[in-house]
Amino acid sequence: MNQAMKCQQKGLSLWGLLGVILLALAVIWIAIKVVPEYLAASTVKACLQDAYTNGGGNFARSKSNFDQCLNLNGIYETGNYNLNMNGQTLTLDWEVLLPIAGNASLLLQFNAQAPE
């Protein structure tokens, strides 16, 4: 009996290992959904800078240049963008709702301004 008390388990049990694997898969699943949106956000910010530079202070021309840049870069869903000009600053706010699994969704909120 005393010998059995000295021999304790070292490491994870099968259930613990399964839990760690499931947690790692959940993190990878969310990363697969989120990383492309952050890459698209960097493209949108670059388009905003280009639109500000090429717009010359005119909001209509900046908006047209911005929409054209998004279409050239393959970003076609422009309905969620809120583009405004405040003085000499062009500001952009947008949200992306990502369905993760079932009823669970992830809301990403982005904002940018030009000039930075």
Residues 6+ apart with CB under 8 A from 34: 98, 106, 108
Total domain count, the chain: 1
For the segment 71-96, what is each residue's pLDDT rounded down to a tens digit?
998 887 766 788 899 888 999 999 98
Residue 105 lies in a domain: yes
Residue 36 lies in a domain: yes
Residue 24 lies in a domain: yes
For the segment 20-48, what is each residue's pLDDT rounded down to a tens digit?
999 999 999 999 999 999 999 999 999 99
Q: How many CB atoms lie within 10 A of CB 100?
A: 13
Q: What are phi and psi of 92, to 5 degrees?
A: -140, 130
Which pTM was predicted?
Answer: 0.76
Q: Which domain holds residue 85?
A: 16-114
Question: At residue 6, does pLDDT exceed 80?
Answer: no
Residue 21 lies in a domain: yes
Question: At residue 56, does pLDDT exceed 70?
Answer: yes
Residue 1 lies in a domain: no
For residue 57, name the pLDDT band (cuts at 50, 70, 90).
confident
Residue 6 lies in a domain: no
